């Protein structure tokens, strides 16, 4: 979203912003936008060719493995350059009590058998592993309500960014003992980690899946804009923008 906003009004490019359509009221930039899937790799390939797309920018969530894999496969099949905007992951700091795990199932298992009060920030569509551990109380925060909640839970509808003061107050109010998060990186939701550190709260951190071995990686919006400008300067006159 930040990259899309940076492209608003930039006459050098003709971007189209694509969202998956899973959120009923997504925040959209002032750019031409489309919502919904492409129909897998074949559909994305057809779209790239029909629209004469000169460059794919994969700016999806670090855990959106399906979309990233499709973008990489379509880029390879069509010969379209691929730029992956991938912010650096969070790293534990002094005082952190992190336990790294490889999956949400491992995160649920890491909570243990003893009932605990858990702040669960993994998103509304990935609660299934925690339904198998109903002994815990879960405070669940996401943009929209999940279809199914664990029996002992409370739901909080909210969209980041979140401040340190608000996160610290939330942990205190709900007497949170452990935080579960995916390692998405960035600043919008990082305050929960600072608040957990200062409160001595343990964190179960789901580590990122590897990126597809295709495309060039930019760590932030500024670097992505530099790559886009370099590509634009060298592209053929008949090609559209990103």
The three-state secondary structure class of 101 is strand
| Neighbour count for residue 129 (Cβ, 10 Å) | 16
Domains 2-87+210-234 and 98-206 share a fold: yes
In this prediction, residue 157 carries a pLDDT of 92
From CA 175, how far away is CA 119, in angstroms rounded?
9
Domain extent listing, the chain: 2-87+210-234, 98-206
Residue 127 phi/psi, 5-degree rounding, is -95, -10
pTM: predicted TM-score of the whole model, two decimal places: 0.82
User: According to CATH, what is the number of the domain 2-87+210-234?
Assistant: 3.40.50
**What does the mean pLDDT of the chain come to?**
90
Contact 108, 132 (CB under 8 A): yes
What mean pLDDT is predicted for residues 146-172? 94
- pLDDT range class, residue 136, cuts 50, 70, 90: very high
Enter the tokens of residue 69.
């894999």
3-29, pLDDT tens digit by residue? Answer: 888 888 888 888 989 887 666 666 778
Which tokens is 235 given?
């592209």
* Contact criterion met (CB below 8 Å) for 221 and 3: yes
Q: Which of 31-35, 157-161, 222-226 has the lowest mean pLDDT?
A: 31-35
**Residue 95 corresponds to which tokens in the numbers above?**
């005082």
For 98-206, CATH number out of 3.40.50.720, 3.30.70.141, 3.40.50.12780, 3.20.130.10 equals 3.40.50.720
């Amino acid at each position: 979203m930040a990259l899309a906003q940076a492209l608003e009004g930039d006459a050098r490019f003709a971007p189209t912003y694509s969202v998956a359509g899973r959120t009923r009221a997504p925040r959209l930039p002032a750019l031409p936008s489309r919502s919904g899937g492409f129909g897998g790799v074949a559909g994305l390939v057809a779209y790239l060719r029909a629209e004469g797309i000169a460059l794919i920018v994969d700016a999806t969530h670090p855990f959106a493995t399906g979309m990233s894999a499709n973008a990489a496969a379509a880029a390879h099949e069509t010969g379209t350059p691929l730029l992956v905007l991938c912010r650096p992951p969070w790293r534990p700091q002094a005082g952190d009590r992190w336990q790294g795990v490889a999956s949400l199932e491992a995160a649920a298992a890491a909570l243990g058998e003893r009932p605990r009060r858990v702040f669960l920030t993994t998103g509304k569509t990935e609660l299934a592993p925690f339904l198998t551990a109903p002994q815990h109380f879960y405070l669940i925060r996401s943009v929209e309500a999940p279809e199914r909640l664990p029996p002992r839970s409370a739901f909080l509808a909210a969209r980041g960014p979140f401040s340190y003061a608000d996160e610290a107050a939330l942990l205190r109010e709900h007497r949170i003992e452990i935080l579960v998060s995916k390692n998405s990186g960035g600043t919008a939701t990082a305050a929960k980690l600072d608040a957990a550190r200062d409160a001595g709260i343990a964190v179960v951190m789901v580590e990122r899946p590897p990126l597809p071995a295709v495309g060039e990686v930019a760590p932030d919006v500024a670097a992505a804009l530099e790559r886009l400008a370099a590509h634009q300067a060298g592209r053929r006159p008949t090609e559209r923008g990103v």
